[in-house]
Structures are given as C-alpha cells and as structure tokens.
Amino acid sequence: MIGIPNSDLLAFSQFQTNADTWLKNSILPYYPATRITYITVGAEVTEAPNNVSALVVPAMQNVLTSLKKAGLHRKIKVSSTHSLGVLSRSFPPSAGAFNSKYAFFLRPMLEFLAENQSPFMVNIYPYYAYRDSSSNVSLDYALFESSSEVIDPNTGLLYTNV
C-alpha cells in the first residue's frame, strides 16, 4: 500500500496531469517488482486541521483514471483511510453506523468504492476502543491478546479482538 498525503489532495483533485505524473514517477518505476495493491488517497481527512474531505473523491477519480491509462486499475485498487471518527457507533460491530455529519463525502466515496470493488479502510486504534467502552472491551481484547471471545448480542457472531 502506498499513500497520497492530504497535502497533495488539492493538486490531485484539480488536475489529471498531477495524478498521471505521480503514477509515472512514483509507481511505474517500481511496479511490479514492488508489490503494490492499494493506493490510499488522503488519510483521516475528517481529523485534518483543514477540511480537505471534499477533495478526496475527485482525487481518487483522477488516480483511478491514471491507473486505467496504465492498464493497472484491476491490479491496484484506489481507496482512502479513515479514523474511527467517521462512525457514530462501532460496538457491537453489527450496530456500526456512519456519522451523519460526514454523509456529504462518504456517500460519493462509498459509491466510488463499490463501483471499483475497492475496500473501505479504517485505521483502528485499539486503545480508544478500550478507553471509550472498557465495560464492553477488555484490555486483552483491544491488544489482540484475548483468549476469550466477545459475542455480538445482535447477531451471535464471535469476535476475538478489535
């Protein structure tokens, strides 16, 4: 996985040539010798000090166009990473829901991801799951060291870690 930083979102969203040049200089010289399966466009944009979330999908579209030109769009998927803050609820997993205040950019992003069979990516920080829900999330569970399972009360599914 390789990422395009938030600081480049404006340039990538406005001009296709920026995405083309970046792919030519940063990916093509190293591919396929280096296994690159995902390009993430932006990182945790909802947490960024300046609001760049509206730039993510246009930048993703330009990166995808560049990959199509190079014939790599089926081998390298385009996505973006997000904080758990995009969720209004995450526990239990079956009750997970997106925060409605981000619908303006999540809806078109999710459509883009579905159309291109790309994953939705979330950075998980186990400490916060433990801190925010210590009555439901044990420290061992948050640290991926649990020997017991947590049962989702809504689905009966078993989880061994965050």
For residue 157, pLDDT beyond 90: no
* Tokens linked to 133: 């829900």
Q: What is the reported pLDDT for 124?
A: 82
The average pLDDT across 62-78 equals 98
- Per DSSP, what are the bridge partners of residue 79? 40
What gap in Å lies between CA 158 and CA 100, rounded to an integer? 28
For the domain spanning 2-123, the CATH number is: 3.20.20.80
Q: What is the reported pLDDT for 29?
A: 97
The highest-confidence range among 24-28, 120-124, 134-138, by mean pLDDT, is: 24-28
SS3 assignment, position 4: strand
Amino acid at 73: H
pLDDT in tens, 15-29: 999 999 999 999 999
pLDDT in tens, 19-63: 999 999 999 999 999 999 999 999 999 887 778 999 999 999 999
Query: Average per-residue pLDDT in the chain?
Result: 90
Domain chopping of the chain, boundaries? 2-123, 125-162
For residue 98, pLDDT beyond 90: yes
* Tokens linked to 132: 């925010």
Q: What is the reported pLDDT for 162?
A: 67
- List, in order, residues 6 or more apart from 36 with CB less than 8 Å away: 1, 2, 27, 30, 76
Q: What are the φ/ψ torsions at residue 4 (nearest 5 degrees)? A: -105, 120
Under 8 Å between Cβ of 79 and 40: yes
For residue 66, pLDDT beyond 90: yes
